[in-house]
Amino acid sequence: MEKLLNDQVVEQLKQAFAELVHPVQLLFFGSKENCEYCAETQALLSEISAVDERVRLSIHDIQEDAALAAQFHVDKFPTIVVAAVKDGAPADLGVQFCGIPAGYEFSTLINDIIFASKQTTSLGDKAREFLQSLTQPLLLQVFVTPT
C-alpha cells in the first residue's frame, strides 16, 4: 500500500513526539467485515507508531478479541483506544477515537497521544476538581468530521 503520511508530515510528527514522556499504547479494533475504513485506519496507525518507539500499536479484531474490546468499552469499529502503559500492559485512560482520524482529526489523535504520554492535559483546576469529585460515570461523545 502507498504511504499515507508524506516525508514532511513524518518530520513534523518526529518533532511533536520529541515531547513524549511515557510510552503510549494505541489499541486498534477493526473488523474483517463491513468496515470501509479499517484497513486505512490500521495503515495510518502503523505509520504513526513507526515514527517513535514510545508509540506502541496493537491490532485487534472486535469479534475475535471481544473480551479485550469489552474491557476497553469498545463497541464500534474502527476504534482507536489511546492508552497508557503500566507494567508493560495497556492501562485504560477512557480515551478513544471512533472512525478514521483523517483531515483535521489527525491532529486530534496526535494531541491525544501526547497528552496520554505526558499523563496530563491542559484542563484548568476547576474542571479537574469537578471531574475528580464525580461519583457517577461521565461519558462525553464528541461528534466530528474530518473536514
Partner 1 sequence: MVRAEALDAMEFPELSNQFRVQGVPQTVINSGGGIVVGAYPEAQMLAEVRRAMGA
| CA–CA distance, 143 with 137 (Å, rounded to integer) | 19
Q: Judged by CB under 8 A, does residue 34 bind partner 1?
A: no
Query: Residue from 40, 47, 65, 105 that binds partner 1 (CB under 8 A)?
Result: 105
Cell (9 digits) for 53: 518507539
Q: CB 35 → partner 1: shortest distance, Å?
A: 10
Cell (9 digits) for 29: 479494533
Q: Judged by CB under 8 A, does residue 111 bind partner 1?
A: no
In what helix (H) or strand (E) does residue 56 lie, and over which residues does it extend?
Answer: strand 55-61
The residues with which 57 forms a beta bridge, in sequence order, are 26
Query: Residue from 36, 87, 88, 89 that binds partner 1 (CB under 8 A)?
Result: 36
Choose among 46, 110, 57: nearest CA to 85: 57
HSE-CB of 136 using CA atoms within 13 angstroms: 1
Q: Judged by CB under 8 A, does residue 146 bind partner 1?
A: yes
Q: Judged by CB under 8 A, does residue 73 bind partner 1?
A: yes
Q: Judged by CB under 8 A, does residue 131 bind partner 1?
A: yes
Stretch that binds partner 1, among 11-19, 23-31, 54-62, 136-144 (CB under 8 A): 136-144
Cell (9 digits) for 81: 483506544
Cell numbers 468496515 correspond to what residue? 35
Q: CB 44 → partner 1: shortest distance, Å?
A: 13
Residues in contact with partner 1 by CB under 8 A are 36-37, 73, 76, 94-100, 105, 108, 123-124, 126-127, 130-131, 134-146
